[in-house]
Amino acid sequence: MPPEDHKAPAELPRPGHSRRDFLRGSSLAAAGAVMATSAETAMHEARADVSEADGVEIFSGSCPIELKVNGEAMSVTIEPRSTLLDTLRNRLNVTGPKRVCDRASCGACTVILDGDAVYSCTTLAISCTGHEVRTLESFETDEGSVPQSFLQNDALMCGYCTPGFVTACQAWLEKNPGKEPTLDDIKQGLDGNICRCGTYIGVFQAALDAAKAMKKGGA
Partner 1 sequence: MAALWPDNPRLIGEGVPRLDGLAKASGRAKYPSDERPDGVLFAVVLHSPHAHAKIVKIDTSKAEAIPGVKGVHLIANEGATLRYHGEEIAAVAAESEEIARDGCRAIAIEYEVLPHAVTEAQAVADGAPQLTPRGNTQAGRAQEDGDPEAAIKEAAASIEGEYSVPVITHVCLETHGQVVRWDGDTKMTVWASTQNVDGVESEMAGAFNVPATDVTVLTPVMGGGFGAKFGADTWGVAAGELAKKTGKPVWLFLDRIQEHLTAGNRPSASAKLTLAADKDGKITALIAETAGTGGISRGAAFPLPYVYEVPNSRRQHTDIRINGGNARAMRAPGHPQGCLIMESALDDLAEKMGIDPLQMRLNSLAEQDTVPSGAGEPLNRSEIYRDQIKLGAEAIGWDQRKPRSENAKASGPLKRGFGMALHQWGGGGRDDKQVTCIINPDGSVELRSATQDIGTGCRTVLAQIAAEVLGLNTTDITSNIGNSQFPPGQASGGSTTTPSMAPPAYNAALEARDLLFKRIASALDAEPGDLEIGKGVILVKGEREVPWKEACRKLGTMPINVTGSFSEGLTAQGVGGCQFVDLTVDTETGVVKLNKIVAVQDTGLILNMMTWKSQVYGGVIMGLNYGLFEELVMDPSTGLCLNPDMELYKLAGASDIPAIDIIPFDNEQMRKRGVIGVGEPPTIATAAAIGNAVANALGTRVPNFPMTPMNVLNALAKA
Q: How far is the CB of 111 from partner 1 (least distance, A)?
A: 10
Q: Are 134 and 174 in contact (CB under 8 A)?
A: no
Range in contact with partner 1 (rule: CB under 8 A) among 34-42, 92-100, 125-133, 211-219: 92-100
Q: Could you say whether residue 185 binds partner 1 (CB under 8 A)?
A: no
Q: Are 151 and 216 in contact (CB under 8 A)?
A: no
List phi, psi (to 5°) of 116: -105, 140
User: Which of 141, 143, 177, 182 touches partner 1 (CB under 8 A)?
Assistant: 141
Q: Is 75 exposed, middle or buried (0-12, 13-18, 19+ CB in 10 A)?
A: exposed
Which of 12, 34, 74, 194 binds partner 1 (CB under 8 A)? It is: 194
**Closest approach of partner 1 to the CB of residue 219, in Å:** 18
- Work out the widest C-alpha separation in the chain, in whole angstroms: 65
The least distance separating partner 1 from the CB of residue 123, rounded to whole angstroms, comes to 15
What DSSP designation does 89 have? I
123-161 residues labelled b (16+ CB within 10 A) or e (exposed) = bbbbbbbbbebbbbeebeeeebbbbbbbeebebbeeebb
**Least spacing, CB of residue 3 vs partner 1, in Å:** 32
Asked if 99 interacts with partner 1 (CB under 8 A), we say yes
List Cβ neighbours of 5 (8 Å cut-off, separation of 6 or more).
Answer: 35, 36, 37, 40
Q: Which stretch binds partner 1 (CB under 8 A): 2-10, 37-45, 122-130, 145-153?
A: 145-153
Total Cβ atoms within 10 A of residue 103: 13
Contact letters for partner 1, residues 30-69 (x by CB under 8 A):
-------------------x-x-xx-x-xxx---------
Site of interaction with partner 1 (CB under 8 A): 49, 51, 53-54, 56, 58-60, 79, 81-82, 86, 89-91, 93, 95-103, 105-106, 108, 135-137, 139, 141, 146-148, 150-152, 154-163, 166, 186-188, 190-204
